[in-house]
């Protein structure tokens, strides 16, 4: 690995090719690597034992730091950004909404949304036209997130909310990438972009707060918002106030949709590159479903579909890096991690660690079959993070992914467009760069499900 620049260290490599930098550093220097990035020192830890040390065993010594601060103007102080006792209380209140049986009650909404989305692809399939797959999947997962939260009011508001959220998220992502620090005053300057952002946030606020207020006087509704509103702290009996509910709702929309869309986009790309895997998936789907729409009871038997998504997230984890800030000096594997440095865990690299993943670059979903997973340490695979800050929506997104893979496989093969390369873009999430055009090609037996 080349030495860093005398002034800015490895900052240029970090900006231009972070995946290459982190992967090469592990290969050449080992599991603990210290870089200088300008005036900041960064420790990269990639061994599962070290990952467990930071996320689980010694998590009290680490904070999430300021990485997600730039999302605050959009999502406020929700589960993603909060810390300490406030986070703990919010997490306790939100957790019941994500229990398996609660999530299961959202399955019909998910398959209905998928049916609508896939009907929207039929014209492109008949004309042999490509669709911008990244945008299609973002729209699908955003619709699912909004419908999961507000089943009752969704018809009226889904479109406005989706549009406002997408625009505000694009500006949030620009702010996150920008080297400027988090300065809330900067975002209040009356530039056209800031004004548009504030207008969209005001629209979202007024819709969400109106819904919450109406719900206060209505019967309980069995969607995620209803569950969040009904949740009571076991010790104090307290529930969330309107602002906390608004922040959690916006956080769930943010955390839940772009990640799942990125994971699905990579899955469809990998299926296109590996037709034998696509054929095995289709065989499973046909055997289990025989052309009908899947239900939650089918999910345990759509095991290969789950493995396909898990393997895609191994190669392209939507959250490809997880930073932490040590609150005091720590020692990992004999190395001092000084307070003030930044620790970076890199699922993209840990998921390719040759000690745990033979032929790491090969797309092989059967790695995730139970009989092939027993020997592997739990912390060699962390697409959903781990420890107390583990993703609250993992069961939700696994279910959404299994349904999506099964229902697409019933109808179409998605084919990439020759000459259009698919390149990873490691921003907050790891997405394919650009729209990733793909043509939906009908399966010969697809008419069976067309009218489902």
Contact set with ligand HEM (CB under 6 A): 64, 79-80, 91, 251-252, 255-256, 259-260, 263, 318-319, 322, 383-385, 389, 391-393, 396-397
Is-contact 174 427, C-beta < 8 A?
no
Encoded tokens for 242: 């309107």
Q: Measured at CB, which residue is nearest to ligand HEM?
A: 393
**C-alpha separations of 104 from 202, 222, 388, 396 in Å:** 32, 12, 23, 8
Q: How far is the CB of 310 from ligand HEM (least distance, A)?
A: 10
Nearer to ligand HEM, 45 or 319 (CB): 319
- Cα(403)–Cα(108) distance, rounded to whole angstroms? 10
Nearer to ligand HEM, 4 or 323 (CB): 323
* CB-CB neighbours of 60 under 10 Å: 9
Which residue matches tokens 């994971």? Answer: 263
Q: How far is the CB of 64 from ligand HEM (least distance, A)?
A: 6
Q: How far is the CB of 72 from ligand HEM (least distance, A)?
A: 14
* CB-CB neighbours of 430 under 10 Å: 24
Nearer to ligand HEM, 401 or 439 (CB): 401
Q: How far is the CB of 154 from ligand HEM (least distance, A)?
A: 15
Q: How far is the CB of 164 from ligand HEM (least distance, A)?
A: 19
171-175: list long-range contacts, CB under 8 Å, 24+ apart: 171/196, 171/197, 172/70, 172/71, 172/73, 172/74, 172/197, 173/427, 173/428, 175/70
Nearer to ligand HEM, 164 or 321 (CB): 321
Q: How far is the CB of 4 from ligand HEM (least distance, A)?
A: 26
Give SS3 for 330. strand
Nearer to ligand HEM, 106 or 164 (CB): 106
Nearer to ligand HEM, 296 or 319 (CB): 319
Nearest one of 244, 256, 201 to 77, comparing CA atoms: 244
Nearer to ligand HEM, 168 or 344 (CB): 344
* C-alpha 297 chain-centroid distance: 24
The DSSP call for residue 321 is: -
Q: How far is the CB of 314 from ligand HEM (least distance, A)?
A: 11
**CA-based angle 160:164:170, to the nearest 5?**
150
Encoded tokens for 111: 């398959």
- Cα(248)–Cα(97) distance, rounded to whole angstroms? 12
């Amino acid at each position: 690995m080349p030495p860093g620049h005398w002034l800015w260290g490895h900052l240029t490599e970090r900006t231009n090719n972070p995946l290459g930098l982190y992967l090469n550093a592990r290969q050449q220097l080992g599991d603990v690597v210290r870089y200088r990035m300008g005036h900041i020192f960064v420790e990269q830890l990639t061994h599962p034992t070290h990952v467990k040390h930071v996320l689980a065993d010694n998590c009290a010594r680490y904070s999430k730091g300021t990485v997600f601060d730039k999302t605050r103007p959009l999502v406020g102080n929700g589960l993603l950004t909060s810390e300490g006792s406030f986070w703990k209380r919010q997490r306790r209140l939100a957790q019941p909404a994500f229990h398996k049986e609660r999530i299961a009650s959202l399955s019909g909404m998910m398959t209905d949304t998928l049916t609508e989305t896939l009907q929207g692809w039929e014209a492109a399939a008949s004309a042999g036209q490509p669709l911008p797959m990244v945008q299609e999947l973002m729209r699908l997962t955003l619709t699912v997130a909004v419908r999961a939260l507000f089943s009752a009011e969704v018809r009226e508001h889904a479109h406005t909310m989706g549009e406002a959220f997408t625009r505000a998220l694009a500006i949030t992502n620009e702010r996150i990438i920008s080297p400027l620090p988090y300065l809330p005053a900067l975002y209040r300057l009356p530039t056209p972009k800031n004004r548009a952002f504030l207008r969209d946030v005001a629209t979202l606020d007024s819709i969400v707060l109106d819904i919450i207020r109406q719900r206060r006087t209505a019967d309980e509704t069995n969607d995620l918002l209803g569950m969040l509103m009904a949740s009571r702290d076991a010790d104090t009996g307290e529930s969330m106030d309107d602002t906390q509910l608004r922040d959690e709702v916006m956080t769930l929309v943010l955390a839940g949709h772009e990640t799942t869309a990125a994971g699905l986009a990579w899955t469809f790309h990998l299926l296109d590159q590996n037709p034998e895997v696509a054929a095995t998936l289709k065989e499973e789907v046909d055997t289990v479903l025989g052309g009908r729409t899947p239900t939650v009871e089918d999910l345990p038997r759509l095991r290969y579909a789950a493995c396909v998504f898990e393997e895609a997230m191994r190669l392209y984890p939507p959250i490809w890096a997880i930073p932490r800030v040590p609150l005091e000096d720590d020692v990992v594997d004999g190395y001092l991690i000084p307070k003030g440095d930044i620790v970076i865990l890199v699922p993209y690299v840990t998921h390719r660690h040759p000690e745990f993943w033979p032929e790491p670059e090969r797309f092989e979903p059967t790695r995730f079959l139970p009989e092939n997973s027993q020997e592997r340490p739990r912390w060699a695979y962390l697409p959903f993070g781990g420890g107390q800050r583990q993703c609250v929506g993992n069961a939700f997104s696994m279910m959404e992914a299994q349904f999506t893979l099964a229902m697409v496989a019933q109808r179409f093969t998605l084919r990439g467009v020759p000459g259009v390369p698919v390149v990873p873009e490691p921003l907050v999430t790891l997405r394919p760069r650009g729209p990733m055009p793909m043509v939906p090609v009908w399966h010969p037996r697809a008419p069976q499900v067309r009218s489902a």
